[in-house]
Structure formats: C-alpha cells, structure tokens
Chains A and B, each alone.
Chain A
Amino acid sequence: MSEELNGKGILKGLSVTLKRFLATYWDDIKWLGRRYRTAEGIAHRSSKDARGIFTIQYPEEKLPPPEEFRFVPFLVYEEKEDGSREIRCTSCGICSKVCPPQCIWIVRTVDPATGRPRPEPAEFYIDIDICMNCGFCAEFCPFDAIKMDHDYELAVYDRKQNVYGLEKLLKPVRYYAQIRPLNNAREEEARRIKASTRPPAFVTGEKE
C-alpha cells in the first residue's frame, strides 16, 4: 500500500486535465471558426501542435488520405483520343501469383481467329471481402496496371456485390494521377526513359 493517501497525486493529475480543458477553448478562440470543417483546421488538429480536442468529426470532416495510403486495388486504363479505352493490364498473372490471400482471378483473352492468347484480360475479378490491402499486386506489377485506391467507403448491403469485376475495377489514368501525383510522375518518367533507350518489346503476357 502507498505510504500516504493525501490526494496530492489526484490534484496534480487534475491540473493536467484542467489545462487540456482550457486549451480546447483557447484554441477555439484563437482559430475563431476556422478550427472545424476547414482543411487547415483539420491539419492543425492532427499535427504536433495540436492541443485540446483533436477529434475529426467523421463523416462531416474527413482526414485527407496521404499519397501512400492504400485500399483495395483498381485497374488503370488509358483514355485514347477517339474515346476508346486501353487497359494497361496484359493479364500476365503476376498480381494473382503474389496475392497473399489469393483473391485475384484473371481470365486471359484468347484470339478466336488464331487461338493464341492476347495480352489483355477477358475477365478480372477481385474479391474485396478477402483482399487484405497489402499492396503487393501494385508493387510487383511490371506494367503499372494495377494500383491501390484511396476510396475506403465501400460498405454495401449485400456482400455478393463485393466480388469486383472489370467494370468496377477500371479507372482512368486521370484518376490515378489525381490520387497519387508523385508516384504517377515517377512512373511516367521511368517509362519515358525506357521508351527512349530501346524499342518497345513485344509483350507476350507470359513474362515471369
């Protein structure tokens, strides 16, 4: 048992809570209306200088996800000038091989005329119930075709909808450049250098 129980420790502790309580109001006055529901207010409350109340009032307010934030994957397509879509994916299957919970299913396109495989997916499924958001598929994709998303509000009423097919997975490069500007710039640069140093190699889709 403690030597003395005179309440000094409790008073000392209460002085801390009182200080925090006052700090909340002090900050509110100092920021006068800008502390809540503004971008700089949210940034302040989640910075090292935050004092007092720091809660972000989700869903009215949202923390901006940092660039590296990753949630379930999506497939990137290029928009051509004539409005057609060119899917970057060549259905090589590396993402489905590296996927730890094995939640990626790919059916390769077969050319009906020749019977030989074409480097694009006929079907592409991700079971996002099983996906563990590890990001390996995006990390090891040699074609920058599969990337991790920033959208985390995916609740649905029926979990059968959680097997995503091509129509739900495909998103334009525009979107990718918007959520990950630095990564996209870096990859564009790498592709530009590669293209300028040697002629584009024919991709068979079976590359390993």
Chain B
Amino acid sequence: MTTAAPHNVPETVQAETLDLAARFPGLVTPDERAGYSGWIVTADHLVQVALALRDEFGYDLLSSVTGVDYLPEGKMEVVYHAFKTTGGPGICFKVQTGRDNPEVPSLVSVYPGAELQEREAWDLLGIKFTGHPDLRRILMWEGFYGHPLRKDWQEPYYEDEAKPFKSRSPEGHVYRFEDRNPFGDNVRYPEDFDPEKWIPENPEDLLYQSLKTYRAESPDSIETEHIVVNMGPQHPSTHGVFRFVVALDGEKIVNLKPVMGYLHRNHEKIGERNTYLMNMPYTDRLDYLSPMSNNFAYALTVEKLMGITPPERAEYIRVIMAELTRIANHCMCIGSLLNDLGAFFTPMIYLLEERDLILDIFEATAGARMMVNYFRFGGVARDIPEDALEKIKGLAFERLPRILDEMDRLMSENEILRARGIGQGILTAEDAVRYSATGPLLRGSGIPYDIRRADPYSIYDRFEFDIPVGKNGDIYDRYIVRLEEMRQSVRIIQQALKQMPEGPIVVGKPQYQFRPPVGESYGRVEGPKGELGFYIVSNGKPNPWRYHVRAPSFINLTAFGPMCIGQKVADTVAILGSIDIVLGEVDR
C-alpha cells in the first residue's frame, strides 16, 4: 500500500530463547511455511506440550485460541497464542487436523481461560475439542445449521466470495438485498426442520442441562430444591443484550452460565469478505465505546503483516487518541457500575460530560463521535486540527486532573460503594491468570500486566506512567484501578503533547486496495477492557483469508461464572459492571 521500504519485523523472538522442537523431538516441529512462525504440535501431545509451556517455560496466560479453515489444503488448524504475565513476547503454537471431522484435545484442563474460546471455535468452525467440559454452541443458537466461519459456508445475503462486488459499477442497477435473498426467509434450515418442534439430539447441548453440572454441596445435609433464574437479555443491568442463567440455592448462586450471541453478526465472516481497508470502519463497531483502540490494534496487525511503520507524528497522534479513548471508556464503565450499585445517574452524568468533551475532539479530528474510522495502515487519516489540539491541551492540562480528583471525592469513600465493593466478587490473582483475564480485571487482582509495559508497541516505551494494581481483586479494587488508570492516561497525553513533532501523518500514498505478502500476524494492544488482539492470515489476495478478533470483554467473561459462585443475585449485577463488557465486542 505504500512506497516505504519494509523494515525487518523480528521473526517470533522465542526461536532463540526456546527451542520446543529440541524439548519435544518428533512431537513439535517449527512452522516453516513462508510468512508463518511458531510451532506445530501433534494433536495427541497437545496437552503435554501445553503443560510444559505453562509450568516449565512460564507461559501462564493463554491469550488467544482460534481456528483457521485451510480449505484448499483440506486442513483445519487451531492457533494458540500464549504469553508470560511477567512480560516479553509470546509463543504461538498450532495443531493441525483434517477438515472432515476435525478433533483436537481441549486445553481447558491446562488453561481454563480457553473455555469460551474453544466453544467459539466449535460453534463457528466446527472443530471438536475432546475433553471440553461444556462444548455447546456459544454465539449461534443450538439449532443452527452449519458452521459459518468455514470457507464453504455462505450467508443469506451471499453475493460473492469477496468485495468489491461486480454488480455495483459500471452497470450498477440498484436493488435491495432482501429482494434478492436466496434463502427466502433470511434463514437456511436443513430439510424437514421445524424450529418449533426441534429438540437437540444430544441433551447435553441444552443450556439448562449444562447448568445442572455443579457439585451439590449442602453443609447441613438438608436437601433443598434449586431454582433457575434468567437475567437478561432485556435487563438494564446487563449493559446490552447479555443474558446469564443462574442456579440458586436460596439466595446463593451455585452455578452461573453466560448466554451470548444476541448481537452476533459474524464480524469475522464479514471481515473475510472485505478488503483490508474496508475492515477499518467495521472495527469501530466492535467495542463501540473505545473505537480508537480497535482501530489501533487492527492497524498494528496489518502493518506487521506488511512490514511498515507509521511516521513519528502519526505515532504520537495514535497514542493521544488511544489514551483519550481509554479515559472515555473508563468514564462510561465507572458511571454504569455506580448506576448498577444504585447511585442513580449522578456519577454517570458527571462522567458522561467528560466523555462528551472527548467525543467532541474525535468529531473534530476523525469526523465522527463514535464510529471514528481514523487509523490508516502506516498512519492516521488526517492531522489534528488546531482547535481540536487546543481542546486536548485544555482537557489534559486543566480540566481532567481537576475532574478526576472531584470524582475521587464524590465516589471513592462512599459507604455504599465500599460496602458493595470491598470483599465482593473476588477474583484471586491465580484465578485471573488461569481464566485468561486481561486489562483492569487482571490488574485489579494484583498482577501488574499491562501490554504497554510488558510488550511495548508503538511508542509506549517513551512515556513514564505507572501501572495501578489492586490488592484483593474485588469490585472496589477494579473501580480504583480504573480511576487511577485515567490519571495515568492523562499523564501519557501530557507527555505526548509536549513531545509531538511536526511532520507527515501517513507513509506513502494511501491506496484502497493492496495485497499484503502471504503469512500470518498477531497484533495486540492494551485496550481499555484488556488485551485486544487481531489474528490475520493473508494468502496474498486483497482480502484476508482469516480475520480473528481476540475480544477482551468476551474472554473476560470466562471468569464471570466462577466469580459469582457463592454470591447473592444482586451482587452479580455489580460484578458484571466491574468486568466492563460491551456487547458489540462480546457477540461480534
């Protein structure tokens, strides 16, 4: 896409530090396909290798699990990315299996954080994970026909394998999609299928069946009947269309299962039909409260694939925008957490005012308040206008420090917040890592893992900032971590404003269609909600072959059930509020 000479992207650094092939001769081979890196593990020995990676080599955080459908080769591949919570680059290992009946051992026993992600890979790609405790569909409903991310699966409004479609110009006679829907009623069913009468073949597939799989403990050995309560999807405390089902013993929760997918639109399938650039505005719609971070992660990943770096000024603009978005996101999160706790809209409105001022800056710079579409590969779309720059300075140097102190006075010592927050919804540091939690959820549990520091990207190694951590891993700690993170973001913005040089904001001449070299790339940023990663496989065409989003709010929900067990129903609302989810990203 640009004329700049590609700089050398370091091939996965672990090759020097860690030779898995020597440790497991015959079981692990290096991935030698051009543009690929990491290790290929034989399916039978996956658990053994994963155990060694976790216990011997210290890769304790399994960040991303996803599958790739290599249709031409007739293969399915499961790709794992693991990192150390002490920092440094990660390791990527893969398992290959046949396409007809793909089966891979589950890693839930080693990394419980893989639970929801393996379910997603089963749902969307049809890869069976043997030994998974609860392998049900997760984003599609139980009776859904087919696995939509498979390359030979076609969606209802299917027109062509890849955009741009031929029917738009020069003979572009307009029509509406629904008028030409090949499946009539917008859904495709197997023959003789009646959704009203359908019962799954395997009763284990049913939600309420899986809810019953808990160890019944009655300390006083009195048998009591457990009742099932549904919260959501239309419940104000679930921050959108999230639903969770709880099994209750009296008022105490004995089991909780999240149910999601009500906002599912198969972002990844759309992304594989799109060209690389077309995906940029779609990423805004993932976590719509922090669009700049989404742009950032996607731009980084594609830049890694193409081997380009943005100019200095663009790097600074990116950092400023990403930190502003973090403040805006935490304003929203703290506001709605306090709402959930009963502080009806006073903190929310106060914080929304700050968020609005930040959105004004986005509007003046990027052109939209939320759907910014601001980053380009090798830079940003346009420079910050003079008046917006003045606004950022006013916010960073004058207003935000004052307001954050005011918010601290308003909330932090409030007795209700402390009573409902301290000691509630505890996630221990150990569990947080096991469940692959990232972001404020992990740091609230006392692990100082922040990708901006642990594995710096862009120019974050140039700034001074602290990583706030909590002590107990409860709701109150997560609140305090977020409040403190906003202060640190202000610090970063202040430094960036002082250091920002003049100069170009994008390398080369922007092109709307280009072909990155064949290969894979995993890029990640520290989003406001946690590690936001993109995994992209390119086959040299203008459209990505595989486009996967490692969504932090989705994966952070893995820990939601375990955190709630033993708590009261009313506490689930507060716990969910303290995880900070956005359904656009959970359901994708």
Contacts and interface: CB of A to CB of B under 8 A. Distances in A.
Partners in one complex: yes
Given A66-B363, A69-B363, A133-B368, A9 B414 contact: yes
A137 B562 CA distance: 48
Contacts of A66: 360, 363-364, 385, 387-388
A94 B353 contact: no
Interface string B275-317: 0011111100000000000000000000000000000000000
Interface string B396-425: 001100000010011111111111001100
Nearest to A54: B353
A1 B419 contact: yes
Contact of A48 (B168, B357, B363): B357
B497 interface: no
A104 interface: yes
Contact of B346 (A17, A108, A135): A17
B22 interface: no
A16 B409 contact: yes
A94 B15 CA distance: 44
Given A93-B168, A93-B169, A96-B169, A68 B363 contact: yes
A90 B286 CA distance: 35
Contacts of B417: 9
A139 B418 CA distance: 50
Contacts of B387: 66
Interface string A140-184: 100000001000000000000001000000000000000000000
Given A54-B353, A134-B371, A127 B385 contact: no
Contact of A70 (B277, B368, B411, B419): B368
Nearest to B177: A130
B198 interface: no
Contacts of B423: 1
Interface string B346-377: 10001001001100100111111001010000
Contacts of A68: 363-367, 382, 385
A135 B373 CA distance: 8
Contact of A7 (B171, B274, B415): B415
A136 interface: yes
Contacts of A15: 409
A188 B510 CA distance: 20
Nearest to A129: B176
A20 interface: yes
Contacts of A132: 281, 371
A87 interface: no
A39 to B, nearest CB: 15
B89 interface: no
Nearest to A164: B174
B512 A105 contact: no
A12 interface: yes
A183 to B, nearest CB: 10
Contact of A134 (B176, B281, B410, B412): B281
Contact of A108 (B170, B360, B364, B419): B170
Given A102-B163, A127-B176, A133-B371, A107 B170 contact: yes
Contacts of B395: 48
Contacts of A139: 381, 510
B411 A96 contact: no
Contact of B419 (A5, A50, A65, A104): A5
B178 to A, nearest CB: 11
Given A1-B423, A48-B395, A68-B382, A10 B367 contact: no
Given A54-B353, A106-B168, A13 B367 contact: no
Contacts of B280: 134
Contact of A2 (B164, B172, B410, B418): B418
A100 interface: yes
B207 to A, nearest CB: 33
A70 B367 contact: yes
Interface hub of B391, B413, B417 (most chain A Cβ within 10 A): B413
B214 interface: no
A70 B513 CA distance: 23
Nearest to A5: B415
A194 to B, nearest CB: 15
A190 B409 CA distance: 53
B410 A17 contact: yes
A46 B176 CA distance: 40
Contact of B170 (A10, A93, A140): A93
Contact of A8 (B282, B373, B399, B413): B413
A36 interface: no
B173 interface: yes
A125 B373 contact: no
B169 A2 contact: no
Interface string A28-72: 000000000000000000111010001000000000011111100
Q: Which of B409, B415, B422 lies at the interface centre, i.e. has the most chain A CB atoms within 10 A of its CB?
A: B415
A96 B360 contact: no
Given A48-B399, A67-B385, A105 B364 contact: no
Nearest to B403: A48
Closest 8 pairs (CB-CB, A-B): A9-B413, A105-B172, A93-B169, A134-B281, A48-B394, A108-B170, A100-B278, A66-B364
Interface of B: 163-165, 167-174, 176, 274, 277-282, 346, 350, 353, 356-357, 360, 363-368, 371, 373, 381-382, 385, 387-388, 391, 394-395, 398-399, 406, 409-419, 422-423, 510, 512-513
16 contacts: A2-B422, A7-B415, A10-B414, A48-B399, A66-B387, A94-B512, A96-B172, A98-B278, A98-B512, A100-B279, A104-B172, A107-B171, A107-B172, A107-B173, A117-B170, A163-B174
Given A1-B423, A17-B410, A107-B170, 16 more contacts: A1-B419, A9-B414, A13-B409, A46-B356, A47-B391, A67-B364, A68-B365, A93-B170, A98-B278, A100-B281, A107-B171, A107-B172, A132-B281, A133-B368, A135-B367, A140-B510
